[in-house]
Structure 1
Amino acid sequence: MNEIIVIIPAFNNESLVEFTLSNSSFCPLTDVVILDSSNSSKIKKIAKHYECKYLVIENKGRVENWNAGIDYSLKENYKYFKFLFAGDVLNKGIIRRYIEEFQSDDEISFITGSYGIVDKSNQTRQISHVSETTILASEVEKQIFNRDKGNWFGPPSAQAYRSSKVGSLRFNSFQPWTADWLFALSLSNSNKVLLLKDDVCRFYESNRLTYNSKANTLASKIEEINVIRTYCENDECLILALSKKLPLKIILKLLFKKVHTKIVS
């Protein structure tokens, strides 16, 4: 058994699973497991072809299926684990880099890096960290939404986690749109995080069915606002973060409500 496992959740999406496996780069130090909540014979065949572990799980919904992946990696005693969503691509040499960095500092809870977002016209927008740095837990709230290009931790496909630091922490299925944000925030609030300059993965918008259907819904925006209002330490940070999400008219209403609440209390 290797030290790190890559978890690929699957549900009746054999073409995306094959796309990810055929285009991603895995080193010999890696185990890959496909967690299939659709019990698809086609996905099972693909897993066998690419010499992946294959596990049928009960479909409890997208986020709870992620949690099943965490449960599996901890049960099998992997030191590190990461998610790679079907339709995304992991770049060459990244797994080895994750392992090296984890081994160099036992206090690092998770590692994330730069990544590319490939849009529907096949144009790539790069989300990059300007420098390679370790963020201490005490600094997380100061930096969390102060970056020019959105949340600094990126999609789960860009991240790798240390199992011992994760422990009983799981994704929150009651806030499905921001579940990955909250997971990363909770983990980083008491542990060190490493940001890599390396381009770790490619996120294909056209392959993300849930992303495309939920990104601009009212429910998703409300979840984002709640997270931002909770973690932004001052009004300047709040304005910067919200300006990427909402029209100015709504931002002003939210700020008025926040100031009014402070005065009343």
Structure 2
Amino acid sequence: MVTNINAYDLNPARFTGPRNFYIDLPHICPCCSTAYSSNPSFSGFFENTLGTIHLYSLFFCPACEDAFLVTYDFIDDIDHNKCVGNIAVQYPFPNNTTSFSNKLSELSPKFVEIYHQAEQAENAGLSELCGIGYRKALEFLVKDYAIAQHPDKESEIISSFLGKCIQEYIDNPKIKALATASTWIGNDETHYVRKHENYNVQDLKRFLTTTIAYVECELNLAEAFDFLSGSQ
């Protein structure tokens, strides 16, 4: 939810008075994970010598009766009266992580561990690092799934590049397409030059989430077939 707020100049040497900003309100309290949509109790901004404006907003959550701070970044060549400030980081950091099924955790426990670490990096505002973590998590998921499908090819799968592993050892065309797209975006998170400028870490997570869903679907189908064949 976007709202317009007044923020006070925190620079004591300049102090230009209140200024209007549009900000994207947090929708969950990081302290208790309760839905949230209130305006900040106080906001202040500081413009550094490079022209970057850091906006600090203090929020109070009536559910847990605790406060949290959200920072927003603006660049000086942007009209602050029209530009919406996106959340850069929150304090305290949100500690919620994705829950995975027992089947997926058994298939690739390392994937779950790495994915949760990537989420913690993202929650801490480490946007340049979390994408690398999601890309690494993808590789463990794909290779562990490929090994489960082709146990006789384990050594080849372990030593192969991720792209080759997907093309040669992932049989489901939907998982193959999703994993390939996730790999391309994930590679951009690790390289100096981005090849796909219109896609970012959120798109990587979106494709990765769908990849996970299809892998879990395949695991459940395999169990269902085993159950039916054993009951006959």
Please tell me the TM-score bracket, short chain as reference. Answer: under 0.3
* TM-score of the superposed pair, with normalisation by structure 2: 0.25
* TM-score of the superposed pair, with normalisation by structure 1: 0.23
Larger Rg over CA atoms: 2
Ranked by relative contact order (alpha carbons within 8 Å, sequence separation 6 or more), the top structure is 1
